[in-house]
Amino acid sequence: MSGAPRPESPSGRWARWVRPLQLAALTLAGLCGGGYYALSASGQGSGAVVLSGSLPNFTLLLAGRDVIYCYYHQPCKDQNQRKGVLQTANTDTLMLVKVRGKRVSVLSIPRDTNVGDFNPREAAAAQKVNGKYWAGGPQALVSAVETITGERVDNYLIVRTEEAARVIEALGGLDVNVPKGGIEWIDKAAGVNLKLAAGPHHLGGQEGVWYLRVRKGFGDDYGRIDHQKQALSQLAGKLTTARGLSALPTILSVMGGLETNLDPTLLQSVQPVLSQFKLNFATLPTDTIPRSFNLAVDRQKLAQVWGDSLSSQATGTQTTRHPASGNPITGSEPDSRVTVLLEDASGGGLGPAMVQALHAAGYLKVQLSTLPSSDEHSQVFTQTDVEMAQQLADQLNLPRLQGERFAVQPGQIGVLLGSNARQLFAALTPFASQSTVNQSPVDPPPVN
C-alpha cells in the first residue's frame, strides 16, 4: 500500500496557485513526544501567514527520537552513529498534525502500530512503526505513517530529548497534576531522578521531559499518550503570551539543529496569529493483532475521532452565547442524554456560574466537582463521544482532547477549568462562588 502512487493532496493543489507557504510546527517530542508545537511559515517567500481568503491545508509528522545506547545503560557519545549500537533510536512518540484552515488536529500514533497488513512470517518488531526511522530514515517513517493513516505527509520534524527540555524551560515550564499514588522513576545510568507525589506540580525543562516520558502512574502507553496531549495543549497556549514571544530566540535556536525539511526562520511572523487556531487531539484507534503485541489500525473509528467530517462548528438552529464574550454561537442542539463532568480547578470558584451557563446552552445534565487550584490549562476531553465534545469545545472555545484513558464513560464529556479559565471566562467572575470544597452534582433546572 505504501508503494502505490498517492493522489495529490489538498495542500498540493493549494500550493500551485497561492504563494509558496506552509505552516509548520515544533513539538516537544524526543522521548516525551508531546507538550508543545509552534506554527511557523516556510517556503520560498518571506511574507507572513494570512488567514483570510484561501486557508492553508497541510500535514506535518512530529517524531520523538530515542537515545542511542552503546552499552548497557550507557548512551553513545555520538548520537548519530550507526555502528556498534546496543539499543537503536526508535521513535516511540509520533504525532501527525493536520491543518485545515484554522482547525489544527493532532493524531497520536501508538508505537506498536503495525505498518500495513501483519505478516506472521516476518519479525513482529520490524513491522512496527516506531522502528521505521532507524531502518530507513525520515522518509521511511513518513511512508509508514502514510500507510497507517491514509493521509499524505507533507513535512516531518524529528526532535531529541535535550531539545525538548530547552523549549519547555524557555516557555516557563510545565504544570501537571500527578495521579493518585505518585510517580517515581530513577535511572542513575541515564541520569533520571523523578519523584513526584500525587497532586499539582510545576516542572522545569528536564523534569518536564522525564514526566512526559514515564508510563508508570498512567497505566500504559495510552495513558502516557493522553497526558502528553494535555501538556502539548498547555504549552501551545503559552505561545500566545508575552512569555511565548520572549522564548522565540530559544525556539529558533532549537529548530536550527533539528532533523527536518522545514524552514524555521519565519516563526516570528506567525506567532501573533496563533491564537486563531483551534486545537483538537485524538489517539489512533487500534485493535491488538492475535498472537502478537502489534496493533492494527481501525480506519472506521479513525474517521470518527479524527476525520475531516468533524466540522469546526456543527450546523443547526440553536443560538447560545459564549460565557465570556457573550457573542452568539450557532450550533446544533446538545444531546439531552450527554452528561458534562465539570471539574473546577480555576481557583476562582467559577464552577457554579459555568453550570448555569451550560444549562442555558442546553446541557441539562452537569456534574460539578471543585478541585484544588491548578495551572493546567482548560480543556474539553472525551473517550468516545467526539462529535458532542467537539461541539462543546467550539462553544467554549477550548481545545478538545480525545483519548483512551480519560476518566469519562460513554455519554460523558469532561470539562476542566484550569487557572486560565479566570481570564477566558472573566464574565462569570461576578457570579462565581468562593467555595473551594467539593460539591455534589448540580441538578438541572426543571424542564417545562
CATH code for the domain of 394: 3.30.70.2390
* Chain centroid, CA 29 distance in Å: 11
Report for 166-175, 182-191, 222-231: range of highest mean pLDDT:
166-175
Q: Give me the mean pLDDT over the 17-41 stretch.
A: 28
How large is the angle between the packed helices 205-213 and 161-170, nearest 10 degrees? 130
Residues 328 and 290 in one domain: no
Give how many domains the chain has, as a whole number: 2
- Decide which of 391 and 19 is more confident: 391
Same domain, 330 and 274: no
Q: Is residue 446 part of a domain?
A: no
Confidence of residue 330 (pLDDT cuts 50, 70, 90): very low
> Could you tell me if 294 and 336 lie in one domain?
no
Domain boundary among 246, 276, 306: 306
Question: Mind listing the pLDDT tens digit for each residue in 307-316?
Answer: 776 644 433 3
Whether 297 and 329 map to the same domain: the answer is no
Q: Supply the pLDDT for residue 22.
A: 25
Residue 94 has pLDDT above 50, yes or no: yes
Whether 106 maps to a domain, the answer reads: yes
Residue 230 has pLDDT above 50, yes or no: yes
| Same-domain check for residues 63 and 124 | yes
Instruction: Compute the mean pLDDT over every residue in the chain, rounded to the nearest whole number.
Output: 77
For residue 58, tell me if it sits in a domain. yes
Higher-pLDDT residue of 28 and 201 is: 201
Q: Is there a single domain that holds both residue 341 and residue 388?
A: yes
pLDDT digits (tens, 9 = 90+) for 103-131: 889 999 999 999 999 999 999 999 999 99
Quick check: 410 and 435 in contact, CB under 8 A? no
- Least confident range from 100-104, 171-175, 293-297, 332-336: namely 332-336
Cα distance between residue 154 and residue 303, in whole Å: 20
Which CATH number is 296's domain given? Answer: 3.40.630.190
Tell which of 251, 273, 306 closes a domain. 306
Mean pLDDT of 338-363: 94
Are 360 and 401 within one domain?
A: yes
If you average pLDDT over each of 26-35, 317-326, 362-371, which comes out highest? 362-371
Cell of 25: 510546527
Same domain, 212 and 355: no
Q: How far apart are CA 161 and CA 81, in angstroms?
A: 17
Residues 293 and 331 in one domain: no
Domain span including residue 229? 10-306
Q: What is the pLDDT of residues 65-80, one digit of tens each?
A: 877 777 777 777 777 7
**298 located within any domain:** yes
Nearest C-alpha neighbor of 236 from the set 279, 286, 195: 279
For the record, the C-alpha cell of 445 comes out as 433546572
Is residue 2 domain-resident?
Answer: no
pLDDT the model gives residue 47: 29
Report which listed range, 157-161, 219-223, 296-300, is most confident: 296-300
3-state helix, strand, coil in the chain (%, to 5): 30, 25, 45
Residue 436 within a domain:
no
Asked if the structure places residue 103 within a domain, the reply is: yes
Task: Let me know whether 292 and 356 are in one domain.
Answer: no
Does the pLDDT of residue 350 top 60, yes or no?
yes
Q: Are residues 221 and 336 in the same domain?
A: no
185 and 46, same structural domain? yes
Mean pLDDT to the nearest integer, 251-273: 68
Q: pLDDT band at 331, cuts 50/70/90?
A: low
Q: What is the largest CA-CA distance in the chain?
A: 75
Judged against a pLDDT cut of 90, whether residue 370 lies above it is answered with: yes
Domain membership flag for residue 291: yes
